Amino acid sequence: KADATLPNLERWLVALEARPAYMASKADVYTHAHALPTQNGPAYSTEAAEGVAARICGLEEGSWALEAVSGTDTAARHEAAYQLIANHEAVVAFAARGAAAPGQPSFAGLADPNADIHSPNEWGEVPAEVILGPLDECLRHVAVALLDGVDSTERSAMADLSRTGDSGGGRGRGGGGELVEGWDAYEDVAGRTYYWHEVTGETTYAPPTRDIGACIAYLRDRIGVPRDMRCVPAAVLRAHLNWALDLL
C-alpha cells in the first residue's frame, strides 16, 4: 500500500479494506510473524531487518504506545474493551500464566498451553491464589481507559495499580521483580534489554519475573489477529496494556 507507482493496486487495497467481511478476517503483521514459523519452520533474523522487526514486535520506542494509536476511532477502543470484558474471567486466568511456572512450551514460541496457574511456581506461590485478584483489578482499569480514555482514569488507576504492584510476595511491580532462576539480562545491538535462559536457550524482551507486570506483558504479546479481535482494536489494546505497565 501507499505506493504511488501502483495506483490501481492502491485503490483496490483501499476498497478491499472498506469491506467489513475482509477486515474481520485480516491478520496483522505481528500475528503472521509469530504464526508462520510454526508452519514453515523457524525464521532467521538479519541485521537489515532489525528495525522493521522491532517495530512489528513493539520493541521500537513508541511503536506500541498510546501515541501510536491516538488517531483511532472510538469504535476500535470499544471493540477492544468488549473483547477484554466479555470473557474477563478466562482472560484474567490466561494472563495469570505469566506468573506460573512454564508447562511444556511448544514449537510456537508464544504458546504454552500446559502452564498451570494452580500449581506452585519457582517461589512456591500459586498464581491462582495470589495474583488473580490484583490482575483482575489491573485489567478493569485497562477496560475503563479504553471506554473513557486514560485521562479520565489515570489518577485512580495509578493509585490502585501502585498498590497492586506490591502484591504477590512483593514482586507485583511491572518489570521490577526478581528474575526467575536461569534467566539473565543482556542488551541487543540497539541497546534494548532482553533476557536469555541458559538452559533452554529461550529469549524474551518481557522480564521473566512471575509478577503482575509479567502477566500483563504475557497477555499483550499473545493478542492474536483476527482470532481475538481485528487489527486496529488489537493495536489499541496492546498500547493500553503498555500504559498499565507504565503505572505499575
Task: Report the pLDDT averaged over residues 220-229.
Answer: 95
Predicted local distance difference test score (pLDDT) of residue 65: 93
Sign of the dihedral defined by the CA atoms of residues 102, 204, 139, 173, in that order: positive
Predicted local distance difference test score (pLDDT) of residue 177: 67
Q: What is the pTM of this model?
A: 0.85
Predicted local distance difference test score (pLDDT) of residue 169: 37
Task: Report the pLDDT averaged over residues 108-130.
Answer: 83
* Beta strands 193-197 and 203-204, pairing class: antiparallel
Predicted local distance difference test score (pLDDT) of residue 107: 65
Predicted local distance difference test score (pLDDT) of residue 92: 96
Predicted local distance difference test score (pLDDT) of residue 50: 85
Task: List, for residues 191-217, the tens digit of each pLDDT value.
Answer: 889 898 887 777 888 888 888 999 999
Percent above pLDDT 70 for the chain = 91
Per the structure block, which three cell numbers stand in for 29? 503483521
Q: What is the mean pLDDT of the chain?
A: 85
Of 52-61, 122-131, 171-180, where does mean pLDDT reach its minimum?
171-180
Confidence class of residue 164 from pLDDT cuts 50, 70 and 90?
low
Percent above pLDDT 90 for the chain = 41
Predicted local distance difference test score (pLDDT) of residue 175: 40
Query: Residue 220, exposed/middle/buried by CB under 10 A (0-12, 13-18, 19+)?
Result: buried
Strands, E, within 136-242: which ranges? 183-187, 193-197, 203-204
Domain spans, the chain: 7-247
CA angle (64 as vertex; 59, 67 as ends), nearest 5: 130
Task: List, for residues 48-88, the tens digit of each pLDDT value.
Answer: 888 888 889 898 888 899 999 988 889 999 999 999 999 99
